[in-house]
Structures are given as structure tokens and as C-alpha cells.
Amino acid sequence: MIRQYWRVFALTFAIMLVGAYQLYGVFSNKGYEPVQPINYSHVLHAGVMQMECLYCHNQAEKGPNAGIPGLDVCMGCHAVVKTDSPEIQKMAKYYAEGKPVPWVRIHRLPDHAYFSHRWHVEAGVACQTCHGPVQNMPVVHQWTKLEMGKCVECHRQENYAGQIHHPATFHEPEVTAAEVAEAPKGLTLEGAEEDPQWASAVSEFKKYHDAKSLSPDDTKVMLARLKQYQNDIYEHGRQYQTRGKNASIECSTCHY
């Protein structure tokens, strides 16, 4: 009797696995290349004309989304460039009617994962690292699965920082005299350890720094920075943080 149940269970489980795998294929989306309402080409604009990615996707510097440019950006040129083209006339019609172009979105992470373009742009990670050579794609497609393994593969590297040509954002910025003056007077690691208000800043500090190798002033400023950083996140939510102090691979880095 129990064995029979077991078989039914095993079979159901197998079917679920196959289903999940297929669903995964659908959602992982690699290669997804939908037909877009206007035949806009990255090869021409970002490739041949070498327009900066951020010229059009300037939200990427500011927050989670890279954003798709509004037609005012396009019409800046196309009010006069190539106005005899049917594609441009289509665009001019949307513009005149004040309607957004219904571009089909290609990249999308599931809700449980947390991502912001801003940290990556600020750290100097090139768009192409995640999106591939978009400037050579006549129609944008999803170049790689945006799967967790890809994120962690980069984050896990001990010196992933150094490989991204932007050392300034990785190492703690130099401690300045002004910061030393602003930090709470008399703040020490030992003192902070006793104070519940500082407990969580102290525990972060210990993950990243060895107090013995730091001067008292550096210790003070770095503790104060961590506390400020935690307050900012608490007040504004993670998407407004300037940047991570350390893009660690703790689960909570990317999952709520």
C-alpha cells in the first residue's frame, strides 16, 4: 500500500520536475528576440554612430532600471533626420498623439531577486558584460540567461572589484580629515561593542576590517560610515543606497 503511494508520489514528482524545467526554459528567456513596433537599430545608433548607451538609457545611472528613452530623445534628431522613412513617420505619429511606443520588454528578473543598474554602472561594469555586444545586434535579444549563477560567479570573486577597472569604488575611499572631525567624539570599537545602537555597525565592520591594522581615526570613520550606510538603507530603502560597501554573496544581498 505504502509502496504504491510512493510510486504515485515519485511519478508526480517527476512530472513536476519536467514541467518546472520547461517553465524555466520559458522564463530564463535566453535568446528572446521579440519583433518591436518600430524597426529601431542598435547597430546603426550605438554601433555605426557610436552613441553612448547612457545617452538613451540614462536611468541606469540613477536607479534600478536602465529605462527605455522617450520619443523626445529620438525626435531630437528625427524631427529632421530621415523624415521620408515610413518607420520615422510611424514614430512621428506616436509622438504627435503623445503616445509611448509599445516596445516589448526583453529582460526581466523574477520579483524575488533584487537588482539595480546603478551600483553596476557606478562600479564601472560595462553594459556588455551582462547584455552582450548590443551595438552589433540589429534587433536586441537576450544574450545570456540572467540567472543567479551569473551574478554570483562575478560577486564571488575575491577581487572582482579589481577586474572591473574602477578601483575607486571598491576599496574604501580614503579617510579624510573632515570625516575624522565629523565622526562622533570618543568613538572606539570597544566602546561601540558595548552600545546596542552600534551593534549592527560593529558586526558589519568586523566582516570587512581588521581593527588591529587600522588607526583609531580610520576605525572611527569606518564605523561611522557603516552606521550612516545602514541608516540610509533603513530610511530610503535599498534602491536609494549609493552603492554597496561590499557586494557579498550573502543571500540577502540579492533576495529580500
143 to 182, contacts with ligand HEC by CB under 6 A? 146-148, 150-152, 154-155, 160, 164, 169-170
Shortest CB 3 distance to ligand HEC, Å: 31
Spatial distance between the Cα atoms of 121 and 9, rounded to a whole number of angstroms? 48
Alpha-carbon distances, residue 64 vs 35, 46, 61, 100, 113 (angstroms): 25, 22, 9, 21, 12
| The one among 98, 102, 110, 186 contacting ligand HEC by CB under 6 A | 110
From CA 256, how far away is CA 250, in angstroms rounded? 11
Max distance between CA atoms of the chain, in angstroms, equals: 79
Contact status: 240 vs ligand HEC (CB under 6 A): no
119 binds ligand HEC (CB under 6 A): yes
Q: Which of residues 37-66 bind ligand HEC (CB under 6 A)?
A: 38-40, 42, 44-46, 51, 53-57, 60, 65-66
- Segment contacting ligand HEC (CB under 6 A): 77-85, 172-180, 201-209, 222-230? 77-85
Closest approach, Cβ 10 to ligand HEC, in A, equals 21
Cα(102)–Cα(40) distance, integer angstroms: 13
Burial class (CB in 10 A: 0-12, 13-18, 19+), 192: buried
* Contact between 108 and ligand HEC per CB under 6 A: yes
> Which of 3, 7, 105, 171: binder of ligand HEC (CB under 6 A)?
105
Options 23, 77, 181, 199; binder of ligand HEC; rule CB under 6 A: 77
Q: Which three cell numbers stand for residue 232?
A: 540610509
